[in-house]
Amino acid sequence: MTSADSLIHARSLVKRFGDFTAVDGIDLDVRAGEAFGFLGPNGAGKSSTMRMIGCVSKPSAGTLRILGRDPERDGVAIRAKLGVCPQQDTLDTELTVRQNLTTYARYFGIRRRAARAKADELLDFVQLSERTDAKVDSLSGGMKRRVTIARALINDPEMVLLDEPTTGLDPQARHLVWERLFRLKQQGVTLVLTTHYMDEAEQLCDRLVVMDGGKIVAEGAPRELIERYSTREVLEIRFAGDDQSPYAEKLDGVGERTEVLPDRILVYAPDGDAALVSITDRGLHPSSVLVRRSSLEDVFLHLTGRTLVE
Residues making contact with another protein (CB under 8 A): 17, 54, 56-58, 76-77, 79-80, 82, 84, 86, 88, 90-95, 99, 102-104, 106-109
Minimum gap (Å) between residue 3 Cβ and another protein: 23
Minimum gap (Å) between residue 13 Cβ and another protein: 15
Nearer Cβ to another protein (77/248): 77
Nearer Cβ to another protein (52/218): 52
Minimum gap (Å) between residue 163 Cβ and another protein: 10
Give the pairing of strands 35-39 and 190-195. Answer: parallel
Minimum gap (Å) between residue 52 Cβ and another protein: 10
C-alpha–C-alpha distance, residues 117 and 37, integer Å: 31
Nearer Cβ to another protein (88/187): 88
At position 269, the amino acid (one-letter code) is: A
Q: Environment class of residue 164 by beta-carbon count within 10 Å: exposed (0-12), middle (13-18) or buried (19+)? A: buried
Nearer Cβ to another protein (16/264): 16
Is residue 57 classed as helix, strand or coil in its secondary structure?
coil
CA distances, 23 to each of 20, 30, 307 (Å)? 9, 18, 20
Minimum gap (Å) between residue 105 Cβ and another protein: 9
Give Dmax over CA atoms of the chain in angstroms: 76
Angle between helices 97-107 and 112-125 (to 10 degrees): 130
Minimum gap (Å) between residue 87 Cβ and another protein: 10
Nearer Cβ to another protein (98/302): 98
Nearer Cβ to another protein (17/170): 17
**Taking Cα atoms as reference points, which of 257, 259, 239, 244 lies closest to residue 306?**
259
Nearer Cβ to another protein (56/221): 56
Minimum gap (Å) between residue 79 Cβ and another protein: 4
Residue 41 · residue 304 · CB < 8 Å: yes
Minimum gap (Å) between residue 153 Cβ and another protein: 13
Minimum gap (Å) between residue 38 Cβ and another protein: 17
Strand order in the sheet with 257-260: 257-260, 265-269, 233-238, 288-293
For 154-222, give the DSSP string. Answer: TT--SEEEEESTTTT--HHHHHHHHHHHHHHHHTT-EEEEEES-HHHHHHH-SEEEEEETTEEEEEE-H
C-alpha–C-alpha distance, residues 286 and 83, integer Å: 51
Nearer Cβ to another protein (55/266): 55
C-alpha–C-alpha distance, residues 284 and 292, integer Å: 20
Nearer Cβ to another protein (71/286): 71
The values of phi and psi at residue 182, to 5°, are -65, -40
